[in-house]
């Protein structure tokens, strides 16, 4: 018998950064030496107990981990089926899971001797988390944000500025997240000698999808241990919203080799899959963008199509490459939820549990709303509550016809 | 590798490589602009394939990409522009330059067949480094099309052999770590880089990024095998639209004079 686990889903990517046919390093030559350096340095950091200890210490004392695992009794009763549990990553410092990754990456940046941080942001959550860690460690920070998003997300723009970041509105293209990412890549190409790019999701060129996943996997590792300790068993289904997919891969990855645990990733169906949406897996095809091969919203000529979602954090025309791989091998199921369904789920959680979720996890809650009633009462659903909804109250008020 | 590319760098003088974006301002306007490049004296034509997300390009070429896509330019249009060019100019080297997704969306074999059929001599794909060569390189080489790679100030001696492996035509030296059309590099750093690459590369070396004027192009041509000019030409297309052929021809003629005679002028 071989000691290897022949069917592990947890040993990706391969040494070239590929998850099956997905992932890889599709970047301009200027960035290649840096990407290779980053990979070497990440391997060393991963094996260095001092790096891990500093990461763990910051997560505990600065971020506030472990986040609670919470049984939602009134939501469970209302849905009338499986028990619904939440991993409360919205209780982290800065109000979302994004900070986990930013802590890890800024420690890597300092280890590599980089003295300037850049990042892209859509809704502003990753920008706020990046500005936060830059303030914490005293590094200058430049955030690229589409001009359209700057207009829509003024409170987060102000937060970033309070934290000392320079926010640069991107006028190129459609002036949203993908254009912000293009502009961050342009900055990086021009400043490789001193600059570290903190990518916000589990996408981009290798090793980003791997390292973002590893930093976010604290979510799943904690949840798995908490669930075992609270109930003596593993959950039946994990549910998480997917834009780029970092909160979902962070929850899923530690469970991938538990065959009894099913997983459901929830994309944003926007106005509907036959209209404008941001569901790359449901409505896209494999292609190459922003350094990796993955499912993309694109036309017949390979031109990228803008995503739409009520949630600015899900509004991206691609998805992390590991999700593309997990879809193709069938380990994870993927579904999608419309703006209207997410808005209803947002209100449902407010009303039943006294928790205002971000619009991103509202998509996961809408999926829970659909599957819980079809499952027996002793079944367990664990959903990732990856962000709090304070940032979204203006958007929600607008959709409900309320003027603030 | 393409005979036309070999010939372009074997004329007894440095080569002028000129870039324009296909379909800018419209697909119908591009052939006259390409003809103006040839009439002005360009030795190699780089025809840019517009992409929605041109990550390595500065504002001038980003805007050209958006104008071309806004005019409805498709991959079929670009291939038709290439075929028409080949019919009018049987001997002038033609290279497609762009990003991976439009080139690979129908499969590498489809693209390589189409490019070969259109008389294309080489392909520069900005975001396929040697590590991902399998994505496009084998399909191009099988049809005699040169994969042309980029080297940059960050490409060190240890990495250069990987960059050269499987490439042909010429080596495109991106003289600044940055995007197209921005600042230009100091001549001494270009000279050092070209000398360094010459130790390993037996391909001609063309230098680009940030080269806009005859005054810049001439000195670079003294130390390199070719000079690439893009954004300055694209700026003229932006300013003159479908009437750009005249101004483009005039600028390219000045550039060609500076490049072709660089080595016969006292330094």
**A298–B105 C-beta distance less than 8 A:** yes
User: What residues of chain A lie within 8 A of the CB of B103, using their CB?
Assistant: 302
The pLDDT of residue A1 is: 41
- Residue A169 vs residues A149, A192, A357: alpha-carbon distances, Å: 8, 21, 27
DSSP-assigned states of every residue in A206-227: TTHHHHHHHHHTHHHHHHHHHH
The question of whether B132 is a catalytic residue gets the answer: no
How far apart CA B245 and CA B251 sit, in angstroms, is: 10
Catalytic-role residue among B24, B43, B46, B121 = B46
**B128–A29 C-beta distance less than 8 A:** no
- The mean pLDDT of B144-156, rounded to a whole number, is 94
How far apart CA B225 and CA B230 sit, in angstroms, is: 17
Give me the helices (H) in A138-205, please: 147-152, 154-162, 177-190
Q: Determine which of B125, B127, B178, B183 to mutate to test the interface with A (most A C-beta atoms within 10 Å).
A: B127
Give the DSSP H or E segment for A118: strand A116-121
Q: Does A40 touch chain B (CB under 8 A)?
A: no
Mean pLDDT of chain B: 95
Instruction: Report the percent of chain B where pLDDT is more than 70.
Output: 97
Q: Does A34 touch chain B (CB under 8 A)?
A: yes
Cα–Cα–Cα angle for A114, A204, A90, rounded to 5 degrees: 85
B104-123 residues touching A, CB cutoff 8 A: 104-105
Task: For residue range B196-231, list pLDDT tens digits in order.
Answer: 999 998 999 999 988 999 999 999 999 999 999 999
pLDDT means per 10 residues, chain A with 404 residues, are 63 96 96 94 97 98 98 98 98 97 98 97 93 98 94 91 98 87 92 95 97 98 98 98 96 98 98 95 97 98 94 91 97 98 98 97 98 98 97 93 92
The pLDDT of residue A254 is: 98
A297 touches A307 (CB < 8 A) = yes
Instruction: Report the percent of chain B where pLDDT is more than 90.
Output: 88
- Residue B209 vs residues B48, B122, B181, B185, B254: alpha-carbon distances, Å: 14, 19, 6, 9, 18
Q: Do β-strands B15-21 and A18-19 pair in parallel, antiparallel, or remain unpaired?
A: unpaired
B216-235 residues touching A, CB cutoff 8 A: none
The pLDDT of residue B172 is: 97
A164-183 residues touching B, CB cutoff 8 A: 172-173, 178-179, 182
B167 touches B133 (CB < 8 A) = no
* Annotated domain spans of chain B: 3-266
The tally of CA atoms less than 13 A away on the side-chain side of residue B181 is 18
Task: For residue range A267-318, list pLDDT tens digits in order.
Answer: 999 999 999 999 999 999 999 999 999 999 999 999 999 989 999 889 899 9
The question of whether B191 is a catalytic residue gets the answer: no
Q: Determine which of A30, A37, A120, A183 to mutate to test the interface with B (most B C-beta atoms within 10 Å).
A: A30
| B254 Cβ contact partners less than 8 Å away, ≥ 6 residues apart | B214
Nearest by CB to residue B152, choosing from A26, A29, A288, is: A29
**A290–B53 C-beta distance less than 8 A:** yes
How far apart CA A24 and CA A208 sit, in angstroms, is: 10
Task: For residue range B49-106, list pLDDT tens digits in order.
Answer: 999 999 989 889 999 999 999 999 999 999 999 999 999 999 999 999 999 999 999 9
From B178's Cα to the closest Cα of chain A, the distance in A is 4
CATH architecture, domain defined by B3-266: Alpha-Beta Barrel (3.20)
Q: Which residue has the higher pLDDT, B184 or A210?
A: A210
How far apart CA A361 and CA A29 sit, in angstroms, is: 37
Q: Does A286 touch chain B (CB under 8 A)?
A: no
Q: Does B128 touch chain A (CB under 8 A)?
A: yes
DSSP-assigned states of every residue in A326-379: HHHTTSSEEEEEEHHHHHHHHHHHHHHHS--B-HHHHHHHHHHHHHGGGS-TT-
**B132–A302 C-beta distance less than 8 A:** no
The pLDDT of residue B265 is: 62
């Amino acid at each position: 018998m071989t000691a290897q686990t022949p069917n592990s889903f947890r040993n990706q990517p391969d040494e070239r950064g590929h998850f099956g046919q997905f992932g890889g390093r599709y970047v301009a030559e200027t960035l290649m030496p840096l990407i290779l350096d980053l990979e070497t340095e990440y391997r060393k950091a991963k094996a260095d107990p001092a790096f891990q200890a500093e990461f763990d210490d910051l997560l505990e004392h600065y971020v506030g981990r472990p986040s609670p695992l919470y049984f939602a009794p009134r939501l469970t009763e209302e849905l009338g089926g499986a028990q619904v549990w939440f991993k409360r990553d919205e209780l982290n410092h800065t109000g979302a899971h994004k900070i986990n990754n930013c802590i890890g990456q800024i420690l890597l940046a300092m280890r590599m001797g980089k003295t300037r941080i850049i990042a892209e942001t859509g809704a502003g959550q990753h920008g706020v988390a990046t500005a936060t860690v830059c303030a914490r460690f005293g590094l200058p920070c430049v955030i690229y944000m589409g001009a359209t998003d700057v207009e829509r997300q003024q409170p987060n723009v102000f937060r970033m500025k309070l934290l000392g970041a320079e926010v640069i509105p991107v006028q190129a293209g459609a002036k949203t997240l993908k254009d912000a990412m293009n502009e961050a890549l342009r900055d990086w190409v021009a400043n490789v000698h001193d600059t570290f790019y903190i990518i916000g999701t589990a996408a981009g060129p290798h090793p980003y999808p791997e390292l973002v996943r590893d930093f976010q996997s604290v979510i799943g590792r904690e949840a798995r241990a908490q669930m075992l300790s609270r109930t003596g068993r593993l959950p039946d289904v994990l549910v998480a919203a997917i834009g780029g997919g970092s909160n979902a891969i962070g929850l899923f990855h530690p469970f991938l080799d538990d065959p009894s645990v099913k997983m459901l990733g929830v994309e944003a169906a926007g106005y509907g899959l036959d209209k404008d949406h941001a569901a790359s897996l449901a409505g896209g095809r494999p292609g190459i963008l922003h350094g990796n091969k993955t499912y993309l919203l694109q036309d017949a000529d390979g031109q990228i199509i803008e995503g739409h979602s009520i949630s600015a954090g899900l509004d991206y025309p691609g998805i992390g490459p590991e999700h593309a791989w997990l879809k193709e091998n069938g380990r994870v199921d993927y579904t999608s939820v419309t703006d209207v369904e997410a808005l209803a789920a947002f209100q449902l959680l407010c009303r039943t549990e006294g928790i205002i979720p971000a619009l991103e996890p509202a998509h996961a809650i809408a999926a829970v709303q659909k599957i819980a009633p079809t499952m027996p009462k002793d079944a367990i659903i664990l959903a990732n509550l990856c962000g709090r909804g304070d940032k979204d109250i203006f958007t929600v008020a607008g959709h409900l016809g309320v003027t603030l | 590798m393409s005979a036309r590319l070999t010939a372009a760098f074997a004329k007894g003088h440095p080569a002028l490589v000129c870039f324009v974006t296909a379909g800018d301002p419209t697909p119908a306007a591009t052939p006259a602009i390409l003809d103006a490049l040839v009439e002005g004296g360009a030795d190699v034509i780089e025809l840019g394939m517009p992409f929605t997300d041109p990550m390595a390009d500065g504002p001038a070429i980003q805007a050209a990409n958006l104008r071309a896509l806004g005019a409805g330019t498709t991959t079929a249009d670009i291939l038709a522009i290439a075929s028409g060019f080949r019919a009018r100019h049987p001997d002038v080297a033609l290279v497609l330059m762009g990003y991976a997704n439009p080139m690979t969306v129908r499969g590498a074999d489809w693209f390589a067949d189409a490019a070969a059929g259109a008389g294309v001599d080489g392909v520069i794909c900005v975001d396929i480094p040697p590590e991902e060569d399998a994505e496009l390189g084998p399909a191009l080489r099988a049809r005699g099309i040169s994969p042309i790679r980029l080297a940059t100030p960050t490409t060190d001696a240890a990495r250069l052999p990987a960059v050269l492996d499987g490439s042909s035509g010429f080596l495109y030296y991106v003289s600044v770590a940055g995007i197209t059309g921005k600042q230009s590099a100091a001549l001494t750093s270009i000279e050092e880089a070209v000398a360094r690459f010459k130790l390993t590369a037996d391909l001609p070396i063309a230098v680009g990024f940030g080269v806009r004027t005859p005054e810049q192009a001439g000195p670079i041509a003294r130390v390199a095998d070719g000079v690439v000019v893009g954004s300055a030409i694209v700026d003229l297309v932006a300013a003159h639209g479908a009437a750009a052929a005249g101004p483009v021809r005039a600028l390219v003629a000045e550039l060609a004079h500076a490049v072709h005679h660089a080595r016969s002028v006292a330094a």
